[in-house]
Amino acid sequence: MATVEEGLRSQIRNIEATYGRSMDDWIAVIRVSGLTPHGQIVAMLKSDHGLAHGAANRVALVALAALAPAAEDGDPVEALFKDRPATVRAIHGRIWREIDALGDVEVAAKKGYVGLRRRIQFGMIKPAARHVDLALVLPGEPVTDRLESAATFNALFSHRVRVRSEEDVDDELIGWIRRAYDRAG
C-alpha cells in the first residue's frame, strides 16, 4: 500500500504532467498573483489556468506551505496554541500526555487542528476560545451529555468532547481516547 507521502508526490507529478508546469512554476504564479486566502487561490487557478478543482486545491496547499513565512517553521502544534489562554494550553498539554502514552500515533498538524492517526485517523484536537474540542471515531458508542455527536462539528468523526479543564481529562475520557486508538490500529 502506498503511503500518504507517496500519494501526494504522485498527485503532484500528475498535475505537473497534465498542466505542463512544474510546482515551482505554480508557486511563482501564486506569488505574483498576491493572493493568500486558499479559496481565492483555488478559484484563480480554476478560472485563469483551467485546473480541475482537486488539482487547484493541491497546488494551492503546496504553494501556501512554500510561501509561508519562515517564522511559522517552528512546531506547528505549538503554533496552534501559542495565542490561546494558558488554561487552553494546559488542557492541551494534559490531553497530549495521555495520547503520547498510547504509543505510536501519527500527528498531522493542520491550520486549525491536530489530526491523530494510527493506520487510520482516530481523533482530532482543536483549540477553541476557552476549551479544547476532542473529536473521536467511536462508531456505536452512545451519545451522552459529555460524549456529544460530532455530526455538526466534523463529519469525519462520530463524537466530540468539549474539554473545559485539565480535570476533564479523567478515566472516562482516557477510556474513549484508548478505544478510538485501538479501533484505528
Give the pLDDT score at 117: 92
**Same domain? 93 vs 16:** no
User: For residue 162, what is the DSSP state?
Assistant: E
**Same domain? 62 vs 94:** no
User: Which segments of the chain are extended strands (E)?
Assistant: 106-109, 114-117, 121-127, 132-136, 148-149, 159-163
Q: pLDDT truncated to tens, each residue of the chain (185 aa)?
A: 456 677 778 889 999 999 999 999 999 999 888 888 888 999 999 999 999 988 998 898 888 888 875 434 556 677 777 778 889 988 998 998 999 889 888 888 887 898 999 989 999 999 999 999 999 999 999 999 999 999 999 889 999 999 999 999 999 999 999 999 999 98
**Same domain? 64 vs 112:** no
Task: Locate 4 and state its grid cell.
Answer: 500518504
**Same domain? 53 vs 103:** no
Number of domains in the chain: 2
Domain with 120, as residue range(s), is: 76-183
**Same domain? 157 vs 81:** yes
Residues 113 and 124: beta-carbon distance below 8 Å:
yes
Q: Which residue has the cell 482537486?
A: 54
Give the pLDDT score at 74: 59
**Same domain? 56 vs 91:** no
**Same domain? 49 vs 125:** no
Give the pLDDT score at 110: 81
Rg (CA), the chain: 19
**Same domain? 131 vs 42:** no
Give the pLDDT score at 103: 85
**Same domain? 62 vs 80:** no
Give the pLDDT score at 72: 45
Specify burial of residue 171 (Cβ count, 10 A radius: 0-12, 13-18, 19+): exposed
**Same domain? 120 vs 178:** yes
Q: How is 53-68 classified by DSSP, letter by letter? A: HHHHHHHHHHHHHHHS
This prediction has a pTM of: 0.60
Residues 134 and 128: beta-carbon distance below 8 Å:
no
Specify burial of residue 103 (Cβ count, 10 A radius: 0-12, 13-18, 19+): exposed
Which residues, other chains included, contact 49 with Cβ-Cβ below 8 Å and sequence gap of 6+?
19, 29
Give the pLDDT score at 10: 86
**Same domain? 148 vs 112:** yes
